[in-house]
Structure 1
Amino acid sequence: MSNPTDSRVLEALLKEQSAWASVCTEPAMVALAAAKAAHTLGEPPVSIDVYLSAGVLKNALSAGLPHTAKKGPEIAAALGALSAQPELGLTILGNVTETQLDEALELAASSKVTVHWAREHEGVYGKCVLKGANHVAEAVIEHSHTNITRVALDGRLAEACATEARRSDLQVLREWDFPRLLAAALDLSVSRLGWLLEGARSCVRLSEKASGLMSEDVIDFAWVCSSDSCETPIVEVANRVSRAISARMSGVPWPVVTSGGSGNQGIMVSVPVMSVAKHLGLDEELTIRALTIAHSVNLFVKAYMGEVSCSCGGVGAAAGIAAATCWMRNGTVEQMEEAVSQVLASLFGMICDGAKATCALKGTTSVLTGMLTGSGACRCRGSIRDQGVLGKTLDETLTRIAALNEGVINKADELMLNLMRPETTTPTQ
């Protein structure tokens, strides 16, 4: 039995970090901020300025948008401003009309939308400033993709925001250990977590239908699944995840549940867990508990690696898959912890070079590693410790990873952005 406060904290984090999103969450977040500013402005914008942290900018550059081959935060901001429907949240880009798209493409091409790299901000951060003929409005989102912390009109607060600016709530998980996290996850009421199952089912449906939706430029592993030499359920699940991510990164507006603020991670976590649960004949309650474990472990890892950083989010998703798979196969807490540790030792160092079509192949790697490690850990009787990034405990391993992430890997973001779009990397004023 966990501390009731722990369960409340974890439930709040799950609700914040596992929202519905139609396309990649970073361009959707840009559109949401622009929509909020446009709704506040109350008149057509004549210019739009977008300020984004490195991680958000990097992910918004190459992710696909609905009904167009064009990409970029300029178009996302224009679409959000023309929609002016912030109540749609991260599903906003899944509801654009053909007329709005044409107008947004014209607005973005007219140089009236300018994107800036907000170097002074880390993690999840975005600000949209819309100027009209008579007024100026701005909206700020930070710490999570839907957390609006400031709405202003002509420099004065236009409304009280639900959440004040703060450090990421995920950081509280760094004060927990794995058994405490697991106890809090298992103590949550299943009746309050049905939305995780609903979201997982939507992810599964996308993975089943994605063969006709995915990008033709991404390697399709369907032939592997039909090959006599590789016909295994795990490979088939990984292939479906790959297809779903490819479709989503191509701009297919399909609603999925996010994990740690990422729709791709939501797919990575949901599809394997649902597959294993079905294979083992688990009922709905146990399936929801397994999904809760997977999402919670992903958040636990992200508390150390960052919500948007230069480390691939598939690392945390794979850790969540491994923990949930081990739990569903009646693994012990120690075996689950070992599964997470070995996933981290295997995948840490896989970088994030932006949200794009080839995230599908990284998703395949994460799913295969998570499912295989989680299943194998159930037969494990020992542990590997104090080697490489592995410390004497999982806590020590995560602390080492955080130090490497902050001291080395995240420094690659500046170089990455200079390579991807150097004109955006001039300092903001």
Structure 2
Amino acid sequence: MAEPLSPAERDRTFCDILNRELVCALGCTEPIAVAYAAALARETLGCEPERLELDCSGNIIKNVKSVTVPNSGGLAGLEAAATLGAVGGNAASALEVLEDVDDADRARTRELLDRAGYAEVSLAVDVPNLYIRVRAHASGHTADVIIAEHHTNVAYRALDGVRLDGAYDSPEAVASDARDAHDQVLSALSLEAIIEFAEDGDIDAARDALERQLSLNDAISREGLEHAWGAEVGRTLLDSREDDTPCRARARAAAGSDARMSGCAMPVVIVCGSGNQGITACLPVLEYAERLGVEGDRLLRALALSDLVAIHVKSYIGALSAFCGAVCAACGAGAAITWMSGGTPEQVGATIVNTLGNVGGIVCDGAKSSCAAKISAAVDAAILGHDMAMAGRSFRAGEGLVQETIEETIASMGYVGRVGMKPTDVEILNIMIGKTEVGR
């Protein structure tokens, strides 16, 4: 456990966390990270690649397999994401790398994808859960880019084996220093400190990021409700009970996912490296704020609480796993709803415990249209958790993974997601890529 921070140190640290986490992304972050790596590889090579090689972790393969690449004209998969990034991506735009691709880029991408063997994909083993390696070849030269641990963490970049900083190094020595620094910052998070920050901390340094999250994520949610994207989970929910606030909270979050999972080219602000989690942490809070008359600075503080709780819960699990991250974000949303409703710190904690005790362990089987339904289910559990907490009811220690304290409960669920569900992750991937035949 890290030493407690002074209020000023806490405020700086938490605003830094929010500013680092709340960045814009176009589409699902895994295919966008692949496109970003490919764009960096092309930039390093200095010309369009003649051939691409991709080595990716199972979680990257799982999360890119079925989701539509934004601005691609309906293409899906690793090969499409990498090729479009290499053809027309702007590496300087990071997770908005595909924002400016045009019809010529899309046509060239389709032409290259029709060429046998242009982009070859392999499963990387014994690597971090989030790992992307792109080798781009042209004219006898090879550019090599590795992204690891986080979606924009460029752990290695080299031309013909020589790192761009001039040092000779092995690409297998991927960046533990960045992860250590990241983990050290996250260790400052606790529910008690997060609530104190929301109550009276100086949020000014993160104000722009929070306002951008509200604006952009609200916009893509409205797009998902107004037009037929994906499985239309959000629209289906509103068709049933439009005037019901809990239902609207679920629908607003689900609709944003409906749009982005189906290739909508509107940006979102992400949390925990995920647009779906950024949407889930935001839209239910916004919907309940409208019902409760919460606005201005207090709304931003509620959103900061939601984001930081999501980050705190997710930090025990890691960037990608078989544990659906929407549950972590829903914990944040539920906690913020309880806080806006005048709940005590104990009731905020009980909301999180009730949510984890209910839907903790929903499996992630890749990014796709059904993510919107999982978001709806997670938000529904968080609202139930909130209602129970406000009525003085909570799941008790010793019941399943629920422990004596909120922090112990978060850690126990995180251990299951990080360690216990590793074999589950492998088997999900094996089914998805056809290595396992499922039958009786």
User: Normalized against structure 2, the TM-score is what?
Assistant: 0.89
Q: Which amino acid aligns with 1:89?
A: A
Percent identity reads 30
Tell me whether 403-412 or 82-91 shows the greater mean CA deviation.
403-412
Alignment partner of 1:113 out of 102, 119, 139: 119
CA distance in 2 between partners of 1:221 and 1:31 (Å): 28
The reply to whether residue 277 of structure 1 matches residue 292 of structure 2 is no
Partner of 2:68: 64
Aligned in 2, Cα 1:381/1:113: closer, same or farther, shift over 3 Å? closer
Partner of 1:202: 216
Partner of 2:14: 10
Partner of 1:405: 417
State the Cα deviation string for residues 57-87 of structure 1 (Å, max 9, x = none): 2111111123433310111011111124111
CA distance in 2 between partners of 1:139 and 1:200 (Å): 33
Contact 2:133 / 2:144 at 8 angstroms: preserved in 1? yes
How far did 1:106 drift? 2.3
The reply to whether residue 182 of structure 1 matches residue 188 of structure 2 is no
Partner of 2:170: none
State the Cα deviation string for residues 177-201 of structure 1 (Å, max 9, x = none): 3213333455242353222222222
The reply to whether residue 368 of structure 1 matches residue 380 of structure 2 is yes
State the Cα deviation string for residues 331-388 of structure 1 (Å, max 9, x = none): 1111111111111111111000000011010011122222342344233276622210
The reply to whether residue 358 of structure 1 matches residue 358 of structure 2 is no
CA distance in 1 between partners of 2:357 and 2:418 (Å): 17
Partner of 1:100: 105
CA distance in 2 between partners of 1:245 and 1:276 (Å): 19
How far did 1:240 drift? 2.5
CA distance in 2 between partners of 1:404 and 1:188 (Å): 34
Contact 2:353 / 2:395 at 8 angstroms: preserved in 1? no
State the Cα deviation string for residues 150-169 of structure 1 (Å, max 9, x = none): 22111111148999543472
Tell me whether 69-78 or 160-169 shows the greater mean CA deviation.
160-169
Instruction: Flag structure 2 segments of 5+ consecutive residues without an equivalent.
Output: 168-174
The reply to whether residue 166 of structure 1 matches residue 172 of structure 2 is no
Contact 2:313 / 2:414 at 8 angstroms: preserved in 1? no
Partner of 2:229: 215
State the Cα deviation string for residues 137-159 of structure 1 (Å, max 9, x = none): 12222221112222211111114
Contact 2:89 / 2:101 at 8 angstroms: preserved in 1? no
CA distance in 2 between partners of 1:383 and 1:349 (Å): 16
Contact 1:312 / 1:351 at 8 angstroms: preserved in 2? yes
Q: How many residues align?
A: 422
Q: Which amino acid aligns with 1:416?
A: I
CA distance in 2 between partners of 1:405 and 1:223 (Å): 30
Task: Please state whether the residue corresponding to 1:21 is helix, strand or coil.
Answer: strand
Partner of 2:83: 78
Aligned in 2, Cα 1:98/1:160: closer, same or farther, shift over 3 Å? farther
Q: Which amino acid aligns with 1:183?
A: E
Matches for 1:234-249 after TM superposition, within 5 Å: 234-249=246-261
How far did 1:254 drift? 0.9
Partner of 1:302: 314
Instruction: Flag structure 1 segments of 5+ consecutive residues without an equivalent.
Output: 425-429
The reply to whether residue 43 of structure 1 matches residue 43 of structure 2 is no
How far did 1:311 drift? 0.2
Tell me whether 252-261 or 408-417 shows the greater mean CA deviation.
408-417
Q: Which amino acid aligns with 2:294?
A: L
Q: Which amino acid aligns with 1:156?
A: V
CA distance in 2 between partners of 1:423 and 1:112 (Å): 23
* RMSD between superposed Cα atoms in Å: 2.5
Q: Which amino acid aligns with 2:119?
A: V
CA distance in 1 between partners of 2:236 and 2:141 (Å): 57
Q: Which amino acid aligns with 1:22?
A: L
How far did 1:288 drift? 1.0
How far did 1:99 drift? 1.4
CA distance in 1 between partners of 2:323 and 2:184 (Å): 17
Task: Please state whether the residue corresponding to 1:282 is helix, strand or coil.
Answer: coil
Alignment partner of 1:91 out of 96, 111, 116: 96
The reply to whether residue 343 of structure 1 matches residue 340 of structure 2 is no
CA distance in 1 between partners of 2:223 and 2:270 (Å): 19
The reply to whether residue 30 of structure 1 matches residue 34 of structure 2 is yes
CA distance in 2 between partners of 1:95 and 1:279 (Å): 38
Task: Please state whether the residue corresponding to 2:65 is helix, strand or coil.
Answer: helix
Partner of 1:427: none
CA distance in 2 between partners of 1:342 and 1:179 (Å): 17
Contact 2:314 / 2:414 at 8 angstroms: preserved in 1? no
How far did 1:129 drift? 1.1
Q: Which amino acid aligns with 2:336?
A: A
Alignment partner of 1:135 out of 118, 141, 149: 141
State the Cα deviation string for residues 249-304 of structure 1 (Å, max 9, x = none): 11111111001110011111111111122222223211111111111011111111
Q: Which amino acid aligns with 1:193?
A: R
Partner of 2:153: 147
Q: Which amino acid aligns with 1:370?
A: A
Contact 1:224 / 1:231 at 8 angstroms: preserved in 2? no
Tell me whether 56-65 or 365-374 shows the greater mean CA deviation.
365-374
Contact 1:80 / 1:93 at 8 angstroms: preserved in 2? yes
User: Normalized against structure 1, the TM-score is what?
Assistant: 0.91
Aligned in 2, Cα 1:224/1:57: closer, same or farther, shift over 3 Å? closer
State the Cα deviation string for residues 99-150 of structure 1 (Å, max 9, x = none): 1112112223332111122211123221211111142112222221112222
Contact 1:207 / 1:240 at 8 angstroms: preserved in 2? yes
Greater RCO, 1 or 2 (C-alpha within 8 Å, sep 6+): 1
Partner of 2:171: none
Task: Please state whether the residue corresponding to 1:193 is helix, strand or coil.
Answer: helix
The reply to whether residue 414 of structure 1 matches residue 426 of structure 2 is yes
Contact 2:261 / 2:369 at 8 angstroms: preserved in 1? yes
Q: Which amino acid aligns with 2:54?
A: V
Aligned in 2, Cα 1:390/1:423: closer, same or farther, shift over 3 Å? closer
How far did 1:248 drift? 0.7
How far did 1:212 drift? 4.7
